[in-house]
Amino acid sequence: MSDLRDLYQDVILEHSKAPRNYREIAAANHKAEGYNPLCGDRFTVYLDMEGDSIRDISFQGSGCAISKASASMMTQSVKGKTKAEAEQLFKRFHDLVTGHAPANDGGELGKLAVFSGVSEFPVRVKCATLAWHTLHAALEGKQEAISTE
Amino acid sequence: MSIAAKPVSNSRLDVERVRADFPILQQKVHGKPLVYLDNAATSQKPRAVIEAITRYYEGTNANIHRGVHFLSEHATEEYEAGRRVAQGFLNAASPSEIIFVRGTTEGINLVAQSYGRAHIQAGDEILITDMEHHSNIVPWQILCDERSAKLRVAPINDRGELILEDFANLLGPKTKLVAVTHVSNALGTINPIRRIVEMAHGRGVPVLVDGAQAVPHLKVDVQALDCDFYAFSGHKVYGPTGIGVLYGKAALLDAMPPYQGGGDMIISVSFEKTIYNKLPYKFEAGTPDIAGVIGLGAALKYVEGLGIENIGAYENEVVSYATAAVSAIPGIRLIGTAREKASVLSFVLDNIHPHDIGTILDQEGIAIRTGHHCSQPVMKRFGIAATARASFAVYNTKDEADALVRGIEKVREVFA
């Protein structure tokens, strides 16, 4: 069970059951939809940008525990950050879940470090990164739904 | 087509001896004995199949239908012997009605592109059902797009059974072809093919049957069913991947244009006029998967050795046992509860995504499939994005069903 507990950490389970910022932002000036055709996970990410800064962020949709918790914690992590900071965090997060994180990342990931167990489950990387890819698309102002495939 | 109704005792099948025939089943996964319950995706291979392929490559390999040398003659003989085994397995009237293809998907595409292009006109309709695999939807959509024809879909009920009255009503003067699955890969439903064929033939409409999920579990007799086309894949019936069979009635196949052009499918070629080969070679362009046919022949002989009725009866007992045990777990909802079912136990669990179920079961050594099973319309019909699917084969046991139940209990613990 040790491997499983690495993946399904309590923080992740808790966020999957009670996701934060799980709502629509009526005044969103950016939004994007992300879809994983392999498992049917589907999320919409809403952004309220003030210039280059993320004033508010939220998401809605359905997916597995990993994808939902990742979306929830992502919204907490990037709120108040600039576009460039959010993109940098995505890169760090992607490195973490694909097992390419540097030994000492300077603690930049904060709570997101709980997703390190995902790197032992390669087929679940897409679950963990779906919301982040969707955020990236929203920041870029892409209109069409993005896909993990 | 009910197997349960047949008075065959499971004592005719010694599952421990069967398991010993499948080398892959002896291994451990994540330190636990492998419990392989993803048979609707692909089945494991008995030693008889693996050895037939090895024997071919070690002692017989040559191209067929051309050489005058010893090996070529021998390889041709074995390849054509595989065709006769497949003919007997389906009880086709003639070996020339057995076309070797890559699998069910290619068989359906062959009919869509060859029969379909010759017979489907603008305004015509092709009738399928709401429980089809994508491979029995998309080839018809492509054809309908090309021909300005219309795809009609017969609905299913909440148990996952075809609603025959609606099917009958959709069979109209414009219907030119019916394409229906024998057994649903996502739900396990067994369709009443004989009745469907009768209804369609009553209106002069030919019927293609997707048999991918049926041939591993049911006796299929294409003459008794009277279907016009029947396609199946070798790898789901203990044979190799990349080889399958399209059965077609000789009169229909004879009148159809070739699907692919190339070597072996011709009598003579000149720039002025090319004469196509006779059946079945007209539809087998290029060097075929010779080893695959030999492996498939070995697989079908293995199934015949056990007896398909014995296999079906034994599997039904294990699946019924597993279904009862899984149903008793709190929060379980079964997807697909048809009165006539084979092999498949599809379910969702309250507030737990199938993908999470699949990962946790995998850690217990249990292989199941999670997702939409290439049947997105079925998922939509039941208002879900995905299911967890356990699918059983002849080598699965009640002990493995118990392991599945313990695995699901573990899933519930993790998410408690």
Q: Is A136 on the interface with B (CB under 8 A)?
A: no
pLDDT of residue B245: 98
Q: Same structural domain for residues B190 and B332?
A: no
pLDDT of residue B160: 98
pLDDT of residue B167: 98
CB-based contact B379 A40, cutoff 8 Å = yes
List pLDDT tens digits, range A100-135.
987 666 778 999 999 999 999 998 999 999 999 999
Residue B120 forms part of a structural domain: yes
Interface test with A, best of B356, B363, B412 (most A CBs within 10 A): B356
Helix residue ranges, H only, A1-149: 2-7, 10-17, 65-78, 83-97, 125-140
Q: Is B386 on the interface with A (CB under 8 A)?
A: yes
Region B39-66 average pLDDT: 96
Instruction: Choose the CATH number for A2-144 among 3.90.550.10, 3.30.70.20, 3.40.462.10, 3.90.1010.10.
Output: 3.90.1010.10
Q: How many domains does chain B have?
A: 2
ipTM score for this prediction:
0.88
List pLDDT tens digits, range A41-85.
899 999 999 999 999 999 999 999 999 999 999 999 999 999 999
B3 has pLDDT over 50 = no
Q: Same structural domain for residues B330 and B373?
A: yes
Cα distance between residue B282 and residue B268, in whole Å? 12
For chains A and B, count residue pairs whose Cβ atoms are closer than 8 Å: 50
Q: Same structural domain for residues B159 and B285?
A: yes
pLDDT of residue B9: 45
Pick the residue from chain B with its C-alpha nearest to A5.
B414
Is residue B71 within 8 Å of B61, Cβ to Cβ? yes
Region B351-370 average pLDDT: 96
Q: Same structural domain for residues B17 and B74?
A: no
B368 has pLDDT over 50 = yes
Q: Same structural domain for residues B20 and B118?
A: no
Residue B220 forms part of a structural domain: yes
Residue in A105, A101, A103, A128 with CA at minimum distance from that of residue A115? A128
B374 is catalytic: yes
Region B350-356 average pLDDT: 93
Is residue B296 within 8 Å of B82, Cβ to Cβ? yes
Q: Classify A32 as helix, strand or coil.
A: strand
Which position has the higher pLDDT, B5 or B80?
B80
Region B171-191 average pLDDT: 98
Q: Is A64 on the interface with B (CB under 8 A)?
A: yes
**How far is B140 from chain A, CA to nearest CA, in Å?**
21
Residue in B291, B293, B285 with CA at minimum distance from that of residue B265? B285
Q: What percent of chain B has pLDDT over 70?
A: 97
CB-based contact B385 A64, cutoff 8 Å = no
Task: Give the model's confidence band at B11: pLDDT under 50 very low, under 70 low, under 90 confident, else very high.
Answer: low
Task: Give the model's confidence band at B54: pLDDT under 50 very low, under 70 low, under 90 confident, else very high.
Answer: very high
Q: Same structural domain for residues B328 and B346?
A: yes
Of the residues B29, B374, B385, B405, only one is catalytic, namely B374
Interface test with B, best of A4, A62, A119 (most B CBs within 10 A): A4
List pLDDT tens digits, range B94-120.
999 999 999 999 999 999 999 999 999
Region B51-70 average pLDDT: 94
**How far is A80 from chain B, CA to nearest CA, in Å?**
31
Per-residue HEC secondary structure of chain B comes to CCCCCCCCCHHHCCHHHHHHCCHHHHCEECCEECEECECCCCCCCCHHHHHHHHHHHHHCCCCCCCCCCHHHHHHHHHHHHHHHHHHHHHCCCCHHHEEEECCHHHHHHHHHHHHHHHHCCCCCEEEEECCCCHHHCHHHHHHHHHHCCEEEEECECCCCCECHHHHHHHCCCCEEEEEEECECCCCCEECCHHHHHHHHHCCCCCEEEECCCCCCCCCCCHHHHCCCEEEEEHHHHCCCCCCEEEEECHHHHHHCCCCCCCCCCEEECCCCCCEECCCCHHHCCCCCCHHHHHHHHHHHHHHHHHCHHHHHHHHHHHHHHHHHHHHCCCCEEECCCCCCECCEEEEEECCECHHHHHHHHHHCCEECEEECCCCHHHHHHCCCCCEEEEECCCCCCHHHHHHHHHHHHHHHHHCC
Is residue B397 within 8 Å of B15, Cβ to Cβ? yes
Task: Give the model's confidence band at A142: pLDDT under 50 very low, under 70 low, under 90 confident, else very high.
Answer: low
Lowest mean pLDDT among A96-100, A141-145, B406-410: A141-145
Task: Give the model's confidence band at B2: pLDDT under 50 very low, under 70 low, under 90 confident, else very high.
Answer: very low
Q: Of the candidates B281, B305, B329, which is a domain's last residue?
A: B305
CATH at residue B66:
3.40.640.10
| In chain A, domain spans | 2-144
Residue B31 forms part of a structural domain: yes
What lies within 8 Å, CB to CB, of B54 at 6+ separation is none
Q: Same structural domain for residues B314 and B301?
A: no
Backbone angles phi, psi at B391, to 5 degrees: -130, 135
Region B252-272 average pLDDT: 93
Q: Of the candidates B290, B305, B320, which is a domain's last residue?
A: B305
Pick the residue from chain B with its C-alpha nearest to A64.
B353
Residue B1 forms part of a structural domain: no
Task: Give the model's confidence band at A1: pLDDT under 50 very low, under 70 low, under 90 confident, else very high.
Answer: very low
B211 has pLDDT over 80 = yes
Q: Is B354 on the interface with A (CB under 8 A)?
A: yes
CB-based contact A13 B351, cutoff 8 Å = no
Q: Same structural domain for residues B148 and B213?
A: yes
CB-based contact B363 A41, cutoff 8 Å = no
Facing B371 at nearest CB: one of A7, A39, A63: A39
Which residues in B lie closer than 8 A to residue A124 (C-beta atoms)? 355, 359
Residue B404 forms part of a structural domain: yes
Q: Same structural domain for residues B294 and B319?
A: no
Q: Same structural domain for residues B24 and B140?
A: no
Which position has the higher pLDDT, A50 or A1?
A50
**pTM score, whole prediction:** 0.93
Residue B2 forms part of a structural domain: no
Pick the residue from chain B with its C-alpha nearest to A1.
B363
Chain mean pLDDT for chain B: 95
Residue B3 forms part of a structural domain: no
List pLDDT tens digits, range B113-139.
999 999 999 999 999 999 999 999 999
pLDDT of residue A102: 78
Residue B5 forms part of a structural domain: no
pLDDT of residue B66: 81
Structural domain for B262, as ranges: 50-305
Region B5-15 average pLDDT: 62
Facing A62 at nearest CB: one of B363, B385, B415: B385
CATH at residue B353:
3.90.1150.10
pLDDT of residue B51: 98
Pick the residue from chain A with its C-alpha nearest to B31.
A1
Q: Of the candidates B305, B326, B346, which is a domain's last residue?
A: B305
pLDDT of residue B5: 43
pLDDT of residue A143: 57
Q: Same structural domain for residues B19 and B76?
A: no
Q: Same structural domain for residues B39 and B63?
A: no
pLDDT of residue B1: 42
Which residues in A lie closer than 8 A to residue B371 (C-beta atoms)? 38-40
